[in-house]
Amino acid sequence: MKPTKKSLNRRQVLKRSGAAAVATTGWMAGSQLIITGTKASGQINGANDRVRIAVAGLNGRGQSHIGGWTGQKDVELAYVVDPASKVLRRTMDSLEKRAEGSLTTKGVDDIRKTLDDDSLDAISIATPNHWHSLMTIWAAQAGKHVYVEKPMSHDIAEGRSCVAAQQKYGVVIQHGTQRRSSAGIAGLHEALKSGKLPRLKIAYGYCCKPRSGIGFKPVSDPPADLDWDHWKGPAVIENYHANYVPYNWHWFWESGNGDLNNQGTHQLDVARWAIDDDQTHPIRTMAIGNRFQWGDQGETPNTMFAMAEYPNGQMVFFNVRNVNYKGYERQVYNEYYLEDGSVIMGEGKYKILRPGASKPEPLDVEPGDVTPGGNWGAFIAAIRANDPSMANGNVLDAHYGCVLGHMMNNSYRLGESVALSDSSVDFGNDDAAEHFQKLRTVMTDGVGVAKDAPWKLGPTLQFDPESERFIGNNADQANKLLKDPNNPGYEVPSADTFA
């Protein structure tokens, strides 16, 4: 299947942005997206050939993957994979009922059991975060294309390894950030970068959705149907407790990344997407927050404000607010603050509040350049064309967006408890101070957090985009967070492995 004219235009843009990334990020020399000559080349020869996919991780999001792929024309669900036998059996039973006796899908407990199948074209990863990079790398090494849920990486070094693996093996890697398939969002960002709109000053993302505490679960033996050692995989976790499985692993650092890099990955990715194309990583970041009121077993913050500054002066702000209360305002979206004082709000369809105006007005932008077909269809189209640049949210997009979140989380994790009372926080930026104060007011006046309640204030971390390492004050501590320890047999290869 030949790419559409719009896809060809998009590839040209990606080639140029990839070259800019290489110029800015020295370690990536030669790591622009590989277009041809992959280990997977030749498996899909035409638009009518069947694409065979394995879905790994069958709780929650994994069921969405199954629905997404089975809804595509000439796509076969070859394998479903999960280390929990009851979850695997439940999924197989559901598939058998739908297939009415003609089911060809196989159920296995380990993704490695699928990788030697030469007829398998792709892996679709919906596991906990700590598995995302290792499965992505294993699949690339086997010549399989990869659709990987957000975040692609659990730490900064893992993401770097995914980029290096894609560069070596040339497979399609698409990130599970569905907003990358929105022509409306793409069009706004193109208008911001082309000069059709005033220059972007701050891209702001919100992940404010109500959640509740998870209580405490005692250390216990894992369920008999769960292969706990394989569920842990790369993650070094000392003991099992029932808050890990099936969902609350999100709120523990060994397995998750908090809501900043859970739901928030979508809004973080949109915010970073708006930053000028020649920018890769921020040069400094800072975060403040806490896990207020719940008093539970979780580790990640339920409230956070974070900022990051890029070499060109553009900034990303981010707001996590999960504590529920009467009158809670759900905010899961992005805002854009422009240098002329305008503010753009909305998603896909936008409004702009111009300086001096009393209310926002509609903002019309031309649709932007994305591979058509939505997130599922774009991935299949990229496989058929054997063209990684057609992915809506390729491996570089994924890496840059995930590193942004990891940097913010790392500042928070290195923070110290401070009772703010009426004192302010020095972000080195007046806009950041103003926006944090808005969050703080919501927490005191809305949630009922005491004004002198302690916040965890992270240090300002400086980052070198070229080496992807922290520099300056606090660098020694921050660089220890670049790579998580791994269990034997589940080591995530370093990027140097793929040189």
pLDDT of residue 15: 38
Residue 347 neighbours by CB under 8 Å, 6+ apart: 179, 182, 184, 185, 333, 334
Domain 5-181+371-394 and domain 188-368+402-491 have a common topology: no
Residue 468 has pLDDT above 80, yes or no: yes
pLDDT of residue 9: 42
pLDDT digits (tens, 9 = 90+) for 200-211: 999 999 999 999
Query: Mean pLDDT score of the chain, rounded to an integer?
Result: 91
DSSP string for 275-331: S-TT--S-SEEEEEEE--S--SS--S-SEEEEEEE-TTS-EEEEEEE-B--TT---B
User: Where do we find the tokens 């309640």?
Assistant: 453
Q: What integer is the mean pLDDT of 183-208?
A: 97
Contact between 157 and 497 under an 8 Å Cβ cutoff? The reply is no
Q: What integer is the mean pLDDT of 84-94?
A: 97
pLDDT of residue 252: 98
Residue 272 has pLDDT above 80, yes or no: yes
Amino acid at 454: P
Tell me the β-bridge partners of 464. 469
Residue 46 has pLDDT above 80, yes or no: no
pLDDT of residue 31: 45
Q: How far apart are CA 45 and CA 193, in angstroms?
A: 37
CATH 3.20.20.140 fits 5-181+371-394, yes or no: no
3-state secondary structure of 52: strand
**Fold classified for 188-368+402-491:** Dihydrodipicolinate Reductase; domain 2 (3.30.360)
Q: How far apart are CA 406 and CA 153, in angstroms?
A: 9
pLDDT digits (tens, 9 = 90+) for 49-65: 899 999 999 999 999 99
Work out the pLDDT band at 10, boundaries 50, 70, 90.
very low
pLDDT digits (tens, 9 = 90+) for 119-144: 999 999 999 999 999 999 999 999 99
Contact between 146 and 115 under an 8 Å Cβ cutoff? The reply is no
Q: What integer is the mean pLDDT of 147-155?
A: 98
Q: Can you give the residue ranges of every domain in the chain?
A: 5-181+371-394, 188-368+402-491
Residue 29 has pLDDT above 80, yes or no: no
pLDDT digits (tens, 9 = 90+) for 385-422: 999 999 999 999 999 999 999 999 999 999 999 988 76
Q: What integer is the mean pLDDT of 429-437?
A: 95
Residue 247 has pLDDT above 60, yes or no: yes
pLDDT digits (tens, 9 = 90+) for 335-367: 999 999 999 999 878 999 999 999 999 999 999
pLDDT of residue 421: 78
Percent of the chain clearing pLDDT 90 (strictly above)? 86
Work out the pLDDT band at 102, boundaries 50, 70, 90.
confident
Query: What dihedral do alpha carbons 80, 81, 87, 91 form, nearest 10°?
Result: 0
Give the pairing type, strands 173-175 and 200-207.
unpaired
Residue 190 neighbours by CB under 8 Å, 6+ apart: 365, 366, 368, 369
Helices (H), 144-227: 156-169, 183-194
Q: What integer is the mean pLDDT of 94-107?
A: 91
pLDDT digits (tens, 9 = 90+) for 278-335: 999 999 999 999 999 999 999 999 999 999 999 999 999 999 999 998 889 999 999 9
Q: What's this model's pTM, rounded to 2 decimal places?
A: 0.92
Residue 34 has pLDDT above 60, yes or no: no
